[in-house]
Amino acid sequence: MQTRIAVAGVHGHGATHVTNAHRYGDLVAIADPRPPDDVGVPVFASLEELLAATEVDVVVISTPIQTHVPLAELALRAGADVLLEKPPTASLAEFDHLSKVIEETGRACQVGFQAQASAATWQLAQLVTDGGLGEIRGISATGKWLRKAGYFDRAPWAGRRTLNGVAVVDGAVTNPLAHSTAAALLLDGSTGVDDIASVETDLFRANDIESDDTSTVRITTTRGTSILIAVTLCAAEQAEPAVIVHGSRGRAVLNYTTDTLELPDSRQVLARGDLLQNLIAHRADPAVPLYCSFAATGGFTRVVEAIRLADEPAVIADAFVRWEGEGADRHPIVHDVEHWIDRAADELALFGELPAPWTTP
């Protein structure tokens, strides 16, 4: 018997989940206040209505960040297992609450960090554990992305720290480039809430938004590893994000979007699993581990919490920004931001410590 799957939120990345639901199970219903056309299954305005009318085994939640926890709780208490998009929660309090719900219901919750489904990620994690790169000096992650005005105009919550008094924390580090942080923590074996000793934030923005779009964050794990995240949404052009392990025997580079692993003596492109398929396999046999359980996002949520509680991102002065495009295509380019990201990653330093020119008055 096929797994009965419902998808909540089918626009944007949610469309991919609809395709996967058809591929790996039986898509029985959709919940979205903006009903899609011609999907061939019943469509409900809310997940609550869907669950009241439909028998469901798995619910995929690809909705605005601030709705993740209430919708996940609704599905879990209805007896469904959940695939929850990242970031799973916008605060540590929400993480603690949903952790208790998962424990109470005994259901499974997988989180949508696709890099955790990559054989390249796990192979590098094993190499670090086995000492194949020698003593680890640190881990860094770089993201040089370009996002236009239409990206921030697509939804009321986009680029917001809060919305109607509710935490959203939709910044470069916590949402579009969140995979970088999550993968770096996995490589260090520091995915749990208690694996994080401290988080330092250095947040900036060039766009007219609340959240950060150009930032460095330094995480110190309880095992003593320094993890430096350096990302921007204001690059001159889009580049592949990378997670870099700096070892005494050389460095390794993981490009998680292409499942590419560059080692001191080789380059490999490895296979990737699927988060929904893995969740279904886990339902059939709990001995099959989830690629990214909710509990394994505790360390990442500590980073989200630090950014949520940090001062508002500092505005990057006009002297360091060039604007291109018009209307929905308008976007800022921070001068030489790629250079400063690479320096931050190599030196495991915050932008303000280098210092990058836009960080000084």
What CATH number is given to the structural domain containing 250?
3.30.360.10
User: Is 129 found in the same domain as 43?
Assistant: no
User: Is 196 found in the same domain as 85?
Assistant: no
Residue whose entry in the numeric block shows the structure tokens 């609550």:
48
Whether pLDDT at 141 is above 90: yes
User: Is 196 found in the same domain as 72?
Assistant: no
User: Is 133 found in the same domain as 240?
Assistant: yes
Percent of residues, the chain, with pLDDT higher than 90: 98
User: Is 119 found in the same domain as 26?
Assistant: no
Q: How many domains does the chain have?
A: 2
Exposed/middle/buried for residue 92 (C-beta within 10 Å: 0-12, 13-18, 19+) = middle
Whether pLDDT at 361 is above 90: no
Expressed as residue numbers, the domain containing 234 is: 115-271+291-359
Distance from the first to the final alpha carbon of the chain:
64
pLDDT at position 37: 84
Residue partners of 4: CB distance under 8 A and separation at least 6: 25, 26, 28, 54, 55, 56, 57, 58
User: Is 147 found in the same domain as 105?
Assistant: no
From 60, 92, 114, give the residue that closes a domain. 114
User: Is 256 found in the same domain as 140?
Assistant: yes
Nearest CA to 81 out of 300, 296, 299, 275 is that of: 275
User: Is 132 found in the same domain as 92?
Assistant: no
Any domain includes 278:
no
Q: What is the pLDDT of residues 78-114, one digit of tens each?
A: 999 999 999 999 999 999 999 999 999 999 999 999 9
User: Is 305 found in the same domain as 158?
Assistant: yes
31-45, 56-70, 132-146, 190-204: the lowest-pLDDT one: 31-45
From 114, 149, 182, give the residue that closes a domain. 114
Any domain includes 54:
yes
Radius of gyration of the chain from Cα atoms? 20
Any domain includes 284:
no
Q: pLDDT tier at 346 (50, 70, 90 boundaries)?
A: very high
pLDDT at position 39: 87
Please provide the average confidence, as pLDDT, over all residues in the chain: 97
User: Is 144 found in the same domain as 38?
Assistant: no
CB 147 within 8 A of CB 189: no
